[in-house]
Structure 1
Amino acid sequence: MTGFKVDILHVDAMGEAEWAAWRAFRAANPALTSPYFRPEFTQVAGRISPRAAVAVFSHGGEVAGFFPHQRRGSAVQPLGAPMNDYHGIIARPGEGPTLAEASALLGGSRLNVTAWVGDTGMGEDRRTVQVELGETGYDAWYAERRTTHGKFFKDKERARRSMETELGTLRVERGLRDPALLDWLIDLKRDQYRRTSRHDIFACGWTAELLHALLQTDIDGFGASMAGLWAGDRLTAIEYSLHADDQYHFWFPAYEPSLARCSPGILLSMDTMRLAAERGYRTFDYGFEGEHYKKYFCNGAHIVREAMVLKPGLGAAVSQAAVRALDLAGEGRGERLRASVRRRWAAIEACETSHADRLRGAVQAAGAALAKAKSASTRPVAA
């Protein structure tokens, strides 16, 4: 479909007619079940993220779709990036603009997406993974998982007993909305970013403000909350989640590094699912696959797309030339290194609102990626 027009509105300029159309489009499109597609997420994030707006696409005089986004310099990103784990056009299936059409209508030097929901031939596939409880609930899911992956879950049961013996009775609470607990979680994440040489997404300020605002939001089944695992009087793990309808999205987990041997984060996730299932939640989304434990938990998956839509010209040419130069080092590392740097850069660009801060973050990210690539290339190969 072609011939779309676009109007760019601030979130506060959206009227009830637009929000009603948004809700109707979402209800008609099974791909838009994630809490990130709820109007409430856009309403909160649109008031906090710098340079936020909603693109309202129309066709033949009728509203055809919406795309909440933010601008950083000349770049366009999904609203709430780098923390927005699902994004796309809010539209009925097959009726909204494509990724390429949306990029052209929005202008800017590029549109960067990391988890695009919807058909597009651009970019590359990435997989997100979920626990699907279905109607049988948590106990039936756990029984099946324990049968299929007995060693893993027996190990976690032993870890639970070990931590309880060492530190005291274990206790889990969910639905927590204490701002002080969120600050504790953010401090743990910031320490993790420092230890792993990743960009500190909370240093910019607005990202932490967004989590705090969502934590105080409870509208028509949409909101955010935390769950915590205590051993005796000691808080050992905490996880911040976004939830709506029957969907529960695990978002920011953190745990005491000194207790890693007891897997407190994994124990917390299991108990959170058990407690949340009692409240009617049926899908627990773990985001992108990768961490080894997710394969033991998850029995569902979705394919999303990662893409950078560049305007033709110097930017695209320089990008390709850099990859060719890196490939000269051998072993085809250029494309892999570019993907790593691109993801780091996407997070930096989304967080930082000044050119100086973006440049500083980019230099650090490139150095970390090159150091990692060099380390991998010089690692001895086992005989």
Structure 2
Amino acid sequence: MAETLQVEIMSAEAMDAAAIALWRDWTTTNPALTSPYFRWDYTQIAARVCPGAAVAVFRRGGRIVGFFPHQKRGGSVQPLGAPMNDYHGVIAAEGETITLEQVAHLLHARRLNVPGWIGAAETGQARETVQVAMPDAGFDAWYAERRVTFGKYFKDKERARRSLEAELGPVRVERGLHDPALLDQLIDLKAAQYRRSGLHDIFACGWTRDLLHALMADPRPDFGASMAAMHAGDKLVAIEFSLHAGRHYHFWFPVYEPSLARCSPGILLSMDTMRLASAEGFRVFDFGFEGESYKKYFVNARQTVREAVVMRPGLTQALGDAAVGVLDKAGGRGEALRASLRRRWSTIEACEASPVGRLRGAAVAVRSAVSKAAARKKTARVAHV
């Protein structure tokens, strides 16, 4: 008979050296756990900042068989650092299976929301994340293959670089930056972008900003967060915040000067960052979820994850469905839209640690959905005329 799976919930601070050693071993030997988000270092730093942080320690017969770092919002549970982390799952040895549904049951979660689950699950829908798997020969070999496969696209980017230099001056890129003022500048630009797009400003709650600062301020031998920046002449034209561990480099928060969009500074920065980082030994460059059109020209590898919400009947499910229902009525109908609205509500729920904050965020989302719906109707009427 299989041993019963049990769980103990504890703070990251309470983890002892033996448990941490297991965690570190599993994230370096289990090929499913190569993302920096699975490292003990990420959990240790994030747990100091994220409201409601905890670690689920799973045992069979007294032996530790897995960990799941998470945060609680009332009766809801999310992966630690949500809504910002792209990958999550149970940290365990290769071959050990602890399903998403088991995690939700053992955590007594009324609602467990996972946008990028890696591991066994019966719930939810598959999503694709995309990566560049750099050959051992490095950036030049990768770029030569891409330029043959997508010659028109990359010739256009070479022209964009020449245009940027002609307009503003020589282009230079720096990587491995840890300047707090530059990070604040990136966050402010990203927050403004969210507001312009009508999305929830994930940095308005405060702790998400603190998380990026905490990760960047604590570099470790095989783990860290840093920025890359591109200048053209004296002008800062693009910044990107990334997380990295082992040979895995995760592009996280990019921003660029909107007035220079025609010169593709964000894309040029990503290319130069890969060139510099690959020379340091990085071989997987993760672009997160597919979606933006430029990614198809870069990536040559994919990973399937699951987006799922595991819910128990009760108040949390009712409130979650009610919130999505209000947004749905405001913004229109359709499965794709409902999935988008559920993601929006999940973002609000994860960011805002208080009920008042979640209510405020939902109200802003409703106003945005109503405004977009009105604009679509106006455009449709004009087109019909």
- The bucket for the TM-score relative to the shorter chain is over 0.9
- Once the 2 structures are TM-superposed, how far is the Cα of residue 146 of structure 1 from its aligned partner? 0.7
Letter in 2 for 1:197: G
Aligned length in residues: 382
- Once the 2 structures are TM-superposed, how far is the Cα of residue 289 of structure 1 from its aligned partner? 0.5
- Once the 2 structures are TM-superposed, how far is the Cα of residue 375 of structure 1 from its aligned partner? 4.8
Counterpart of 2:311 in structure 1 is: 310
Counterpart of 1:228 in structure 2 is: 229
Q: Which piece of structure 1 moves more, 161-170 or 214-223?
A: 214-223
Counterpart of 2:259 in structure 1 is: 258
- Once the 2 structures are TM-superposed, how far is the Cα of residue 134 of structure 1 from its aligned partner? 2.2
CA distance in 2, matches of 1:318, 1:354: 15
Query: Within 5 Å, which residues of 2 pair with 1:31-110?
Result: 31-110=32-111
TM-score, normalisation: structure 2: 0.93
Counterpart of 2:271 in structure 1 is: 270
CA distance in 1, matches of 2:357, 2:219: 34
Counterpart of 1:354 in structure 2 is: 354
Contact between 2:110 and 2:317, CA under 8 Å: does it hold in 1?
no
What is the root-mean-square deviation of aligned Cα atoms in Å?
Answer: 2.4
Letter in 2 for 1:333: R
Contact between 1:35 and 1:247, CA under 8 Å: does it hold in 2?
yes
Q: Which piece of structure 1 moves more, 19-28 or 199-208?
A: 19-28
* Alignment gaps of 5+ in structure 2: none
Counterpart of 2:337 in structure 1 is: 337
Contact between 2:327 and 2:341, CA under 8 Å: does it hold in 1?
no
Counterpart of 2:153 in structure 1 is: 152
Counterpart of 1:214 in structure 2 is: 215
CA distance in 1, matches of 2:341, 2:325: 15
Contact between 1:125 and 1:306, CA under 8 Å: does it hold in 2?
yes
- Once the 2 structures are TM-superposed, how far is the Cα of residue 288 of structure 1 from its aligned partner? 0.5
State the secondary structure of the residue aligned to 2:253: strand
- Once the 2 structures are TM-superposed, how far is the Cα of residue 51 of structure 1 from its aligned partner? 1.1
* Alignment gaps of 5+ in structure 1: none
State the secondary structure of the residue aligned to 1:181: helix
Contact between 1:65 and 1:96, CA under 8 Å: does it hold in 2?
no
Counterpart of 1:115 in structure 2 is: 116
TM-score, normalisation: structure 1: 0.93
CA shift digits 1:228-257 (9 cap, x unpaired): 000111111000000011000000000111
Instruction: Determine what percentage of the aligned residue pairs are the same residue.
Output: 62
Q: Would the alpha carbon gap of residues 327 and 349 (structure 1) be closer, same or farther in structure 2, given more than 3 Å must change? A: closer
State the secondary structure of the residue aligned to 1:102: helix
- List, as ranges, runs of 4+ consecutive aligned residues in structure 1 with deviation greater than 6 Å: 317-329
State whether structure 2 residue 366 is matched by structure 1 residue 366.
Answer: yes
- Once the 2 structures are TM-superposed, how far is the Cα of residue 374 of structure 1 from its aligned partner? 5.8
- Once the 2 structures are TM-superposed, how far is the Cα of residue 115 of structure 1 from its aligned partner? 0.3
CA distance in 2, matches of 1:102, 1:29: 19
CA distance in 1, matches of 2:374, 2:292: 23
CA distance in 1, matches of 2:256, 2:329: 41
CA distance in 1, matches of 2:177, 2:93: 35
State the secondary structure of the residue aligned to 1:48: coil
State the secondary structure of the residue aligned to 1:302: strand
CA distance in 2, matches of 1:143, 1:228: 24
Q: Would the alpha carbon gap of residues 233 and 321 (structure 1) be closer, same or farther in structure 2, given more than 3 Å must change? A: closer
Contact between 1:116 and 1:305, CA under 8 Å: does it hold in 2?
yes
- Once the 2 structures are TM-superposed, how far is the Cα of residue 94 of structure 1 from its aligned partner? 4.0
Counterpart of 1:196 in structure 2 is: 197
